Structure 1
């Protein structure tokens, strides 16, 4: 019984402070085109998945779209952060760089170039090389998800004039 009261009090406190779960962003336009993405881009695939969950229609032809999301750079790399005295790698930094801009089909900039940079640190041991490769893939996947969420929030902030 005391546990229920504690749960009820906790949920009332969360509701009272304005807490709510994050929901899908509401986009203020009807059509969108994605351009400039490399083939097989995980960011493009993730953005398409997210946009299909909204009423916005994805178009292949940017000239017909109200809004164009243009990728100018998508790059990921891995750098050594720490190594032992004999040169064995102990820590990597995984980085994702995604630069984009949002414009109309006529070329009017709605959002100037955004340089999105994400990084995650990862320890490394040669004896667990396969597991560490899977961990790196998971970390890159998490960075892609984070980048997609940030781009979707930026798209939701776009307001067309007229």
Structure 2
């Protein structure tokens, strides 16, 4: 039977069954929207003033479940996040026949640890890294420098999200 000539109630029933089946399949696979992170600590000390640390502060405030403690009141915090190092690297991937740069790999690596004011390590010193590839053209060198800065900011945003997920993985102090 041609579906185009099907009566309207039957077509509605088929569409309803298809929609119900799709929603059941989606619910059955475990799909769920990302929720706000839940942290084991209520207050956090985060000292420093780099772009990454400022982005982390914004992420924490946006989550709304953790109060940031000023650096001079570190002992009153439940946990202390220490950024041990932030390294930016540029690695030459390829050059042309004249030896001029063609492609770069930008890397951003961040070392961090999480501990209590008493010294108990909640997260041992760990490293999170991001890489991006950048094609390079010497005639547009200034524009490529601007593009590299945008890529570094993008990597900082990704690392801040990764750090938030790592901090949320800590279940007890």
Under a length normalisation based on structure 1, what TM-score does the superposition of the two structures give?
0.85
Computing the radius of gyration over CA atoms, which structure comes out larger, 1 or 2? Answer: 2
Equivalent position SS for 2:52: helix
Question: Distance between the aligned counterparts of 1:49 and 1:12, measured in 2?
Answer: 37
Which structure features the higher share of helix residues?
Answer: 2
Mapped pair 1:45 → 2:45: no
Question: Distance between the aligned counterparts of 1:103 and 1:118, measured in 2?
Answer: 24
Question: Distance between the aligned counterparts of 2:22 and 2:134, measured in 1?
Answer: 36
Q: Could you list the structure 1 runs, at least 4 aligned residues long, displaced by more than 4 angstroms after superposition.
A: 9-12
Q: How many pairs are equivalent?
A: 157
Equivalent position SS for 2:146: helix
List runs of 5+ in structure 2 lacking aligned partners.
1-10
List runs of 5+ in structure 1 lacking aligned partners.
none
Q: Which one of 75, 79, 97 corresponds to residue 63 of structure 1?
A: 75
Question: Distance between the aligned counterparts of 1:10 and 1:143, measured in 2?
Answer: 35
The root-mean-square deviation of aligned C-alpha atoms, in Å, is: 2.3
Mapped pair 1:142 → 2:151: no
Question: Distance between the aligned counterparts of 2:31 and 2:172, measured in 1?
Answer: 29
What does 1:36-115 correspond to in 2, within 5 Å?
37=48, 39=49, 41-53=50-62, 54-60=64-70, 61-115=73-127
Q: Label 1:78 to 1:21 Cα distance change in 2 as closer, same or farther (>3 A).
A: same
Q: Displacement of 1:88 after TM fit?
A: 1.2
